[in-house]
Homo-oligomer: A and B are copies of this chain.
Amino acid sequence: MARLSDVIEDFIKTLLKQSEGELELQRNELAEYFECAPSQINYVLATRFSLDRGYYIESRRGGGGFIRIVQLDLDKDDYLLHLINERIGRTISENETNDIVTNIMERGIITEREALIIKSALTDKVIAIPANLRGVIRANILKAMLVAILRSRV
């Protein structure tokens, strides 16, 4: 007996193929179609369309709300994906951050100005919260910005 989550996963992937890697859907509509709880859609998205599987999700609530699924354009051992999923862990220092950002600039992945913007956002001074939390938030933000760079390549 195929698990419903797998069926929904396949369904979404078929839609994604038809629409060249980008897709907007209605959570409640889909849930109704599969006769399941709306939150099961979230479960499928969280487990099958996660970042390390190469997908990016955004959504909006309220009237006319939607969920957008974007299939990121990446080759298997993408350096950015490696940074996001492995190199940058739960927490990271200002120095490590600067090294990483300089490095991807030198590789031509980002411009000099982008490097400047990213670094300026991640200094100890700017993230003025207790040190133990600071590294965690810095890691969060850095990863989010790298995802944005991944996304902008699509």
- Is A144 at the interface (CB under 8 A from chain B)? yes
**Does A140 contact B128, Cβ atoms closer than 8 Å?**
yes
Pick from B6, B64, B66, B141: contact of A126, CB under 8 Å: B141
**Count of chain copies:** 2
Asked whether A123 is an interface residue with its Cβ less than 8 Å from the other chain, the reply is: yes
Q: How large is the interface on A (under 10, 10 to 19, 20 to 34, 35 or more residues)?
A: 20 to 34
A63 CB–B CB distance under 8 Å: yes
Which of B118, B119, B141, B145 interacts with A127 by CB under 8 Å?
B141
- Summarize A's interface: helix, strand, loop or mixed: helix
Contacts of A126 in B (CB 8 A): 137, 140-141, 144
Q: Which of B64, B116, B133, B152 contacts A116 (CB 8 A)?
A: B152
Is A76 at the interface (CB under 8 A from chain B)?
no
Q: Within 8 Å CB of A152, what residues of B?
A: 112-113, 116-117
Q: Given the known A-B contacts A114-B113, A117-B118, are A137 and B148 also in contact in the complex, defined by CB atoms under 8 Å?
A: no
> In the complex the two chains form, is A120's CB within 8 Å of B144's CB?
yes
29 residue pairs A–B, Cβ–Cβ below 8 Å:
A1-B26, A1-B66, A6-B64, A112-B152, A113-B114, A113-B148, A113-B152, A114-B114, A114-B117, A116-B148, A117-B117, A117-B118, A117-B145, A117-B148, A117-B149, A120-B147, A120-B148, A121-B121, A121-B144, A121-B148, A126-B137, A126-B141, A126-B144, A127-B140, A127-B141, A128-B140, A129-B137, A137-B137, A141-B141
